[in-house]
Amino acid sequence: MGMTMTQKILADHCGLESVKAGQLINCRLDMVLGNDVTTPVAINEFNKFGFTSVFDKEKISMVMDHFTPNKDIKAAGLTKCCRDFAGEYKIKNYFDVGTVGIEHALLPEQGIVASGDVIIGADSHTCTYGALGAFSTGVGSTDMAAGMATGMAWFKVPAAIKFNLTGKLKPYVSGKDVILHIIGMIGVDGALYKSMEFSGEGLPNLSMDDRFTMANMAIEAGAKNGIFEVDDKTIEYQKGRVNREYKIYKADDDAEYEKVYDIDLSEIGMTVACPHLPENTRPVEELGDIEIDQVVIGSCTNGRIEDMRAAAEVLKGKKVASRVRCIVIPATQQIYLDAMKEGLLEIFINAGCAVSTPTCGPCLGGHMGILAAGEKAVSTTNRNFVGRMGDVTSEIYLSSPAVAAASAVLGRIGSPYDLK
């Protein structure tokens, strides 16, 4: 029996000719990632175990993106812990105020991760890098500590589910709508510890930003990882970014999948995940008159330049409803700069939005947009659990940037077509 993309990458990184689902293996790592919340815990474990060196100062990334610029004394202490460690061990990929971006947008942008890599990160949305055809997955801080010291991590080889993509997206429909549609179809445990593998003749019709969004939310279906077949768009994206050789892995024709889903992109509409699970999805036109208090456009899911453009297209020449707070967060400094050069920030500000430096802040209820009791938000983030963005009685509706921007203007959940 042949192997899937994920299984081929893992086999190569553990020195075996082949692996099969359920097998326990120990793999060589190409990148170990942590942020300002998870890295201090890993550093404590690193020191507790008595490690005195890192396996490779160029294969560790520390991104201070959750609470920076520091929101309080505790956040300042966390980032200082990371800053001191990075200085002591001369960590090359350390990103702080002024250079920081939201980690899962920043690492691909900077060419730090690439096709065929094995990547672990002490953040559940590390699965984002599967858009490049890499195996990337979230781990705990203890595994991060061991990874920093040894350059190795153990895995149980995941079984796989294949998503065969056909067709082309309709106007205003994006990768966010596709992945919400899929999670609504299979459920939040529909791919539990599985590899979600995307390929098919419709793949070229998805941009890289669409793919990053979809891979990012594989964890919301319970997946171990999400991964896209490498094509010309993937290779073109990495040109000028990745300054090392990388390897492309393609699934065997006889690879074994537990399930195969055929997804016609042309049949998917603008989709919203209602409280309090990402699987609770409905077409935007079926939601009725739900008034909102806040809109967030950004995050590791939807803070890339195409997301900024989609939101700006809707907001141009319009005003955010008087009772709505609209917060726009470009995911990296480069995206912020590009949005400024393209005039997108001017559109946001003229519309009445607040534009923030890159941060994860509101997504996890940390800062830059906390919800009060009973408030409702439309957000382009990835989770809408109870209390995720603030008070436990608040509600979060997950959407694409186009729907979020339209909702900000309408003062209720709606689509760009409602503004015409």
377 and 279 in a common domain: yes
205 and 174 in a common domain: yes
**pLDDT tens string 114-153:** 999 999 999 999 999 999 999 999 999 999 999 999 999 9
185 and 298 in a common domain: no
Looking at 265, 292, 318, which one is the last position of a domain? 265
190 and 65 in a common domain: yes
pLDDT at 420: 80
Instruction: Please give the model's pTM, rounded to 2 decimal places.
Output: 0.96
**What is the Cα–Cα distance from 29 to 265, expressed in whole angstroms?**
34
Looking at 265, 284, 319, which one is the last position of a domain? 265
Share of the chain above pLDDT 70, in %: 100
CATH number at residue 213: 3.30.499.10
pLDDT at 288: 86
Tokens for 353, please give them: 């939005």
224 and 292 in a common domain: no
Residue 178: pLDDT band by 50, 70, 90 thresholds?
very high
Phi/psi for 186 (5° steps) reads -105, -15
**pLDDT tens string 365-420:** 899 999 999 999 999 999 999 999 999 999 999 999 999 999 999 999 999 999 98
Farthest-apart Cα atoms in the chain, separation: 63
30 and 172 in a common domain: yes
245 and 278 in a common domain: no
151 and 127 in a common domain: yes
187 and 328 in a common domain: no
207 and 281 in a common domain: no
Share of the chain above pLDDT 90, in %: 97
**Above 80 in pLDDT, residue 16?**
yes
Q: Are 339 and 305 in contact (CB under 8 A)?
A: yes
Looking at 230, 247, 265, which one is the last position of a domain? 265
| Range 319-340 average pLDDT | 97
Residue 212: pLDDT band by 50, 70, 90 thresholds?
very high
Q: How many domains does the chain have?
A: 2
User: What domain range is 399 assigned to?
Assistant: 271-419
Residue 286: pLDDT band by 50, 70, 90 thresholds?
very high
